[in-house]
Amino acid sequence: MATTATISLSSSDLLSYPISISKTMTMYKDNTTSTDFTQMNYHRLELPTDNYGGGTPTNLDLIPESDALKDTANYVYICNASTSDSQYVTISINDEVIGSLYGGDFAIFPWACDLSHATNDSTIEAQAFGATQTVEYALFHVGETLATANDTP
C-alpha cells in the first residue's frame, strides 16, 4: 500500500537555459522509515463568497485541526477546480495567508497540525473571491477521532 506524488516544473524560455525539475516522493507516516499512510479523505465542494447566504465574505474552515492529526506527517492536496483566471481562493493557516489558488491552480504540502498555540491555529482555511468556486482537496493522514454520536440507535 503506497501513496506517491510526482511534480514536474518546466520552462524552456523563462531563463536563458531550460528549467526541468522533477521529483517523486512516497508519502510515509512520520518518524518511520517506510510505513505507508492507510487513511485519507477526498472532498469536492463549492466555496461561496457570501457565507452560505449570510451575505458576508468569510474565511471558512476547510480542514479542521484535531488532536489525532497533531505534530505528525499529514499531506494535503488542494485544487481550485474552477477555470477563471481572475477568481481565486485563498488558503491560510491561522491568520497567515499562504497563497491564492486561481482557477486550475493546485498545491501540495505537508501539514503538521501544530496545536501548540491558540485554539484553531492550525486549521487549514479557505476563502473564495469573485464567485463561488469549486475546490477539491485530499488529506492523507495518520488518523482522526470521530465524535461520539448523540443518538443511540
Q: How far apart are CA 129 and CA 136, in angstroms?
A: 16
- Is position 46 an interface residue for another protein (rule: CB under 8 A)? no
Nearer to another protein, 52 or 106 (CB): 106
Closer CB to another protein, 30 or 52, in the complex: 30
Q: Is 143 in the site for another protein (CB under 8 A)?
A: no
Residue 16 Rama label (left phi>0; alpha psi -120 to 50; beta): alpha
Q: Determine, following the binding rule CB under 8 A, whether residue 11 of this chain makes contact with another protein.
A: yes
Which of 83, 106, 143, 144 binds another protein (CB under 8 A)? It is 106
Smallest Cα–Cα separation from 60: which of 92, 36, 28, 38? 92
For the CA atoms of the chain, what is the radius of gyration? 18
Of 25-33, 43-51, 52-60, 145-153: span binding another protein (CB under 8 A): 25-33
Distance spanning both ends of the chain, measured CA to CA: 35
Q: Which is nearer to another protein, 95 or 151 (by Cβ)? A: 95
**Do residues 37 and 27 make contact, with C-beta atoms less than 8 angstroms apart?**
yes
Query: With binding defined as CB under 8 A, does residue 110 bind another protein?
Result: yes
- Kindly tell me which of 118 and 149 has the beta carbon lying closer to another protein: 118
Cβ distance to another protein smaller for residue 52 or 109: 109
Query: Is residue 60 at the binding interface for another protein, with CB under 8 A as the rule?
Result: no
Q: Is 64 in the site for another protein (CB under 8 A)?
A: no
**Secondary structure (3-state) at 43:** strand
Residue 77 in contact with residue 106, Cβ under 8 Å? yes
Binding of residue 127 to another protein (CB under 8 A): no
